[in-house]
Amino acid sequence: GQLVDQRFCPRIVEGQLRYNCVGDTLVGIIHKKPAGGGIYTYYGPQEIIFKNLTTDFLERDITQIMPSLGLAGEPLPLWWTTDFI
């Protein structure tokens, strides 16, 4: 994968979304804000405020993850996360 140094992401102060997945199933969303040592807000997988991002991720993007890593034909990990900044 690729690591992004967050100091080069000026909008990081708005926080990031972490999608927690089991295989191809989204099981939870965490909104992490760095202010004040870190503020975490937990949401269920059906959270309406993230509906567009979640729909695009689950219906379009998730199928491209393993091939883009050169691992076409391999299953998604059992438990894994993806972050959106």
**Over its length of 85 residues, how does the chain's per-residue pLDDT go in tens digits?**
566 565 667 777 888 999 999 999 999 999 999 877 889 999 999 999 999 999 999 999 999 999 998 999 999 999 999 999 8
Asked if residues 30 and 18 have their Cβ atoms less than 8 Å apart, the reply is yes
Query: How much is the pLDDT for 85?
Result: 84
Q: For tokens 């379009």, name the residue.
A: 60
Asked if residues 81 and 20 have their Cβ atoms less than 8 Å apart, the reply is yes
Tokens of 4: 């992004």
Closest CA to 58 of 71, 73, 45: 45
